[in-house]
Amino acid sequence: MVRATSTPEQQSVRVLKVGERVRHILSELLARGEVHDDTLTAHAVSVTEVRMTPDLRNAAAYVKPLLGLDEDVVLKALRTNTAFFQREVAKRLGLKFAPKLQFKPDESFEEAERIEKLLSDPKVARDLGDD
């Protein structure tokens, strides 16, 4: 039986706090250039969200390079350096188990743009207009 993924509202406060802490750690590592990778030092990368599993063993980190340029190249570099990120997160977090990181592209900006286009469509704007 397939389990439905939980929404942020359904997650425990601890899971959300650990996810946010992991996001801060990853952002700090990338901002300070602590990763010895030419691709990652050449690009400004934002970690927009980290979603943790309820057992805190897996983390999905959603990332977006500045202006969305070279997203595939940046994702490849992040995935290549996953062991470094996991080691640093484990050191700084202090949990019993270090979460296994998985880097994914953040598609929320594209989704927001798609919704904005739908709302600006004349047919929809007509329905949303004041009478």
Beta strand 58-65 with 45-52: parallel, antiparallel or unpaired? antiparallel
Q: Which two tokens stand for residue 61?
A: 């980190």
Flag whether 91 is in a domain: yes
Please name which of 72, 80, 64 lies closest in space to residue 23, comparing C-alpha atoms.
64
Instruction: Write out pLDDT tens, residues 3-61.
Output: 455 555 566 888 999 999 999 999 999 999 888 888 888 889 999 999 999 999 999 99
- Please report which helix (H) or strand (E) contains residue 117, including its range: helix 108-120
Flag whether 53 is in a domain: yes
Q: Give 122 or 131, the one with higher predicted confidence.
A: 122
The boundaries of the domain holding residue 53 are 13-106
Instruction: Write out pLDDT tens, residues 56-110.
Output: 999 999 999 987 778 899 999 999 999 999 999 999 988 888 899 999 998 877 7
Flag whether 116 is in a domain: no
Residue 131 pLDDT: 45
